[in-house]
Amino acid sequence: MLKKRIFSLFLISAFLLNLFPLSALAYPAYSQPANNLAVAGPYEAAIAGVANWGTNMEDGLTDLAYEYFTAGRKYRIRQAGTISRIRIHTVDKSNITGFYLKIWRQATGAGYGYNLVGTSENLASKLVHNGFATIDLSSPIAGVQEGDFYGYRIETSSRTKNFYAKPENDKTGETYLVGTFYKNGNVGSSFNWEGTANPVKQFALPIELYMAAPQVVLIGDSIIAGRTAHHSYIDHLLSPLNNVSSTIGWKLKNITGYTYQNMGISYSQTISVIADRFDKDVINLKPKIVVIEGGINDVAGSTTQESFIASWKSMLQKAQNDSNIETVIVLKILPWTGGNYDQMRKRDTWNAALEVEAAKYSKAIVVDASPYVGQYRGTGDPGNLWDIKSAYRPGGGDVMHFNADGHEKIAQAIADHLPKPSATFDNDFTTWNKGEITVNYNLIQTGGNTNLNISQTDTSGIEYSTDNIYWYDATQGTGGDPMTGLSASSTPGINHSFIWNTTTDLPTTENSTVYLRIRPSDNTSSATAWVVSNSFGVDNVAPSVSDNVP
């Protein structure tokens, strides 16, 4: 029986660790309400137009039911999670008897093809004739992964055109096209959509797919997008590169457990271009954390420092004023092995100016990943970290981008700088005290879960010492605040009090070198460090003081 119990506990532990990686328990919660939804794909919004799409596929058949598969990088899903809402425009719903959303995943191994992830209920009755419909799914599609594809099934009572599909005529005949494969009848739960016998048209019906808003949005240039092993699912490139697990966003997810969307775009992404799409690609997605990266293309081009800072200022102001965003990660311009000496000195100057600008915004945290991925360039300025370490370069002569290991290091730099709870003492601790002492303290948290605890554990609580070496839990007296569910805010924090019963802890003490220390927790993250008070006196032997508040 004991063996069975142990095995059951093992299975439960393994299951929980699979859901919540151990590393994820070390970072702030940044919880997203389930009803706070954002578009998870495609990059094209639902659109109205003249009907050109439906069961009349002009294929010489008489079928009244077709299945469709939307292909193209910008039409793929950008986030892992559960699709619970869609938004779609219908031109004519008069003869539609069935409409089902379907999510597909590309198979691996022999045969390839695509496997069905999930299907919605029949949504035909919820479509709006000649209008947009926002539909909450009564059967949400769970288990969706970044990079999955969407399709749909249309059933009608007569062959007609019911929707407007957007023409996608860029690069006809390319292997990695943007368009829609279609098949009459029912394709089942596994199908090779890209098989040579399957018809395809370079049109796409945009259906907005909604999930709980991501905890993190990463916006930037090709470095965030994932080059050279991956391009994001907002890139308009017709590219076969598809290695999601190599990107900075994926690596950050593995470290922290956060959901994310990768809004990096390759090619010609200067900081002004990134700033121009900040509303669409960040604010509208309602993240708790935004990671902003960019600047290499500016250093390499003709951008001025004034323009560079102005673009950053625009994004920082928008993030600061947004009610959803709690933390803004300002990623300094990264090392660049291909930059000449003047360009790298420019980089250093701009990074310093960026740090000054970011200091004006309480949500901003500046992250310098150069110590993680950079190395000294001989004959360069003293202490420089201009070049990418060879272990983090992708090879093939690329001197600007990073490989998967480099992306992991950059993600670790971001994770290391995420805000953790902290505290400060309000007491001056300069007088003698006795009996029950009122300890006033502030709880500080600039992001994530702002309900903190000071429960007595190995990594948090309020403790005392008479030598600043050995520490013991302080006994709570009568009154003061509870030790759990305590509110916190950004600096200077929110004031709380703890009544310390020194009669219980130090009943025979007359000592002038007593210390207190405090360290809060938000149940997912320990504080930055224990905060230790100055030494003060406690006299429970022959107390002569009448005021026992330090």
Domain-located, residue 11: no
What is the C-alpha R_g of the chain? 29
154, HSE (Cβ side, Cα atoms, 13 Å): 29
Beta-ladder partners of 374:
388
Clarify whether residues 184 and 225 are in a common domain: no
One domain for residues 156 and 275: no
Average pLDDT of the segment spanning 175-184: 82
Q: Supply the CATH number for residue 469's domain.
A: 2.60.40
**Count of domains observed in the chain:** 3
CA–CA–CA angle 174, 77, 50 (5° rounding): 70
**Residue 3 within a domain:** no
Burial class (CB in 10 A: 0-12, 13-18, 19+), 499: middle
The one-letter code for the residue type at 27 is: Y
- In this model, does residue 173 exceed pLDDT 60? no
| pTM of the predicted protein model | 0.84
Average the pLDDT over 187-191 and give the result: 95
Under DSSP, is residue 422 helix (H, G, I), strand (E, B) or coil?
strand
Helix axis angle for 305-321 and 341-358, nearest 10°, is 30
The CATH number of residue 337's host domain is: 3.40.50.1110
Domain presence at residue 129:
yes
Residue 247 located in a structural domain: yes
The string of pLDDT tens digits covering residues 240-297 is 788 999 999 999 999 999 999 999 999 889 999 999 999 999 999 999 999 999 999 9
Quickly state the pLDDT bin for 525 (edges 50, 70, 90): low
Residues 204 and 310 reside in one and the same domain: no
Is 398 in the same domain as 262?
A: yes
Residues 228, 206 share a domain: no
pLDDT tens-place string over residues 341-363: 999 999 999 999 999 999 999 99
Last residue of a domain, one of 168, 187, 210: 210
User: Is residue 273 located within the same domain as residue 352?
Assistant: yes
Is residue 20 situated within a structural domain? Answer: no
The CA angle 59-60-65, to the nearest 5 degrees, is 70
Distance CA 124, CA 94 (A): 10
State the average pLDDT over residues 500-506: 95
Q: Which domain holds residue 51?
A: 37-210
**Domain boundary, last residue among 170, 191, 210:** 210
Same domain, residue pair 358 and 457: no
Q: Is residue 18 part of a domain?
A: no
- DSSP, collapsed to helix, strand or coil, labels residue 35 as coil
Calpha distance 145→78 (Å, rounded): 8
Is the pLDDT confidence value at 22 over 50? no
